Amino acid sequence: MIFLMDLQMMLLDVLYYILRNSLRLVLRPRTKPIDGELVLITGAGGGLGRLFAQEFAKHGAEVVLWDTNAASNGQTAQLVREAGGKAHAYTVDVTCREDVYRHADLVRRDLGRDVTMLVNNAGVVAGERMLDCPDELIERTMRVNCHALFWTVKAFLPQMKAQNHGHVVTIASVLGLFSTACVEDYCASKFAAVGFHESMAHELIAEEINGVKTTLVCPYIVDTGMFEGCKIREEVELILPPLDPQYCVEQAMNAILIDQPLVCIPRLTYLPVMSRALLPWESNVVTYRFMGSDKCMYPFIDSKKRVSIGPAKNE
């Protein structure tokens, strides 16, 4: 009897959340204020990380910038300050847990308070076929895109839980929800990032830590140069071009400010996520072939080879 009552309540809750989220597509929820929040962004030296820093600062947040490249990270900090924001730059290797923990303590000492929002943005890709890829590059991708999430979250989540206030954002990829050929290292690391994030979110809910929010951001290929050369079928690319970085960050910020748990950018990319779950494997294969997605990374890998071969000729 208790089981049937619980089943009924669960089905009602499922229906409620389906209707609520459908309504949110039409009537945008109220955004939360983040002025005064202390936001830490990894990979802040360029690309999406720099744009995130500027967007958070624009909303009144104070930003802490972590990157391995001190010069580019300093430039991000300068851009934020020139726009009237507060920024603090630190040179950190997020793949080294000792470095992460040490700098987490340093940030707390320097600023006198805890980080309240964590944006795990740092990411890399090897850009070589698996059998041609040096083991070191595969390991680097996993350390940056996956392992670093553990170290940063372990460094900052305890304080968020203690205060029942905070927000953890994971910048993953649609290639963490469905895969394509020749980027095994990247897909594996992003699938791991998605799994890590969702498990962490479930843990917070199970512990009834309702003041710490989570947002998983899964963008399509962003035109930052990371996947330069990647090419799908021309006719398909007309409706699914590489994302403008500013647009991507703005869409992600919209989701963060309304505490949206998951956002795929653009919305069109929800379709292959659903097809992967619902259709037979062979159906997805023929769809990939039609779109040119099965070989879309070939020109990207070739361009990476040309870049790596180029400097060697000059030595």
Share of the chain above pLDDT 70, in %: 96
Q: Say what the pLDDT of residue 310 is.
A: 40
In a domain, 266, yes or no: yes
Asked if the model's pLDDT at residue 315 lies above 60, the reply is: no
Residue 263: exposure state from Cβ atoms within 10 A (0-12, 13-18, ≥19): buried
Strand partners, 214: 168
What is the rounded distance in angstroms from the CA atom of residue 69 to the CA atom of residue 73?
6
How many other β-carbons are positioned within 10 Å of the β-carbon of residue 165? 16
In a domain, 17, yes or no: no
- CATH number where 234 lies: 3.40.50.720
In a domain, 26, yes or no: no
Band of the pLDDT at 304, cuts 50, 70, 90? confident
Residue-by-residue DSSP string for 262-302: EEEESGGGHHHHHHHHHS-HHHHHHHHHHHTGGGTTHHHHH
pLDDT tens, residue by residue, 211-222: 999 999 999 999
Among 16, 17, 90, 186, the one annotated catalytic: 186
Asked if the model's pLDDT at residue 311 lies above 80, the reply is: no
In a domain, 3, yes or no: no
Instruction: Name the pTM for this structure.
Output: 0.92
Q: Say what the pLDDT of residue 55 is.
A: 98
Q: What is the mean pLDDT of residues 172-199?
A: 96
Asked if the model's pLDDT at residue 127 lies above 50, the reply is: yes
Q: Say what the pLDDT of residue 190 is.
A: 98
pLDDT tens, residue by residue, 247-267: 999 999 999 999 999 999 999
Asked if the model's pLDDT at residue 309 lies above 90, the reply is: no
Q: Say what the pLDDT of residue 87 is.
A: 98
Q: Are 110 and 40 in contact, with CB atoms under 8 Å apart? A: no
Band of the pLDDT at 314, cuts 50, 70, 90? very low
With residues binned 3-state (H G I as helix, E B as strand, rest as coil), the percentages for the chain, rounded to 5, are 60, 15, 30
Q: Are 175 and 221 in contact, with CB atoms under 8 Å apart? A: no
Asked if the model's pLDDT at residue 308 lies above 60, the reply is: no
Residue 134 domain boundaries: 31-314
Please, how many CA atoms are within 13 Å of residue 293, restricted to the half-sphere of its CB? Answer: 20
In a domain, 204, yes or no: yes
In a domain, 14, yes or no: no
Least confident of 169-183, 210-224, 270-284: 270-284
Please give the residue that has the higher pLDDT: either 19 or 185: 185
Q: What is the mean pLDDT of residues 90-111?
A: 98
- Residue (of 70, 71, 53) closest to 62 by Cα position: 53
Q: Say what the pLDDT of residue 4 is.
A: 79
In a domain, 69, yes or no: yes
Strand partners, 218: 264
Structure tokens of 244? 């403008």
Q: What is the mean pLDDT of residues 187-203?
A: 98
Measured between alpha carbons, how far apart are the two ends of the chain, in Å?
78
**Residue 298 falls in the annotated catalytic set:** no
Please give the residue that has the higher pLDDT: either 63 or 17: 63
Instruction: Report the interhelical angle of 148-163 vs 184-206 (nearest 10°).
Output: 20
What is the rounded distance in angstroms from the CA atom of residue 214 to the CA atom of residue 12?
24
In a domain, 88, yes or no: yes
Asked if the model's pLDDT at residue 273 lies above 90, the reply is: no
Work out how many domains the chain is built from and give that number: 1
Q: What is the mean pLDDT of residues 281-287?
A: 91
Q: Say what the pLDDT of residue 312 is.
A: 32
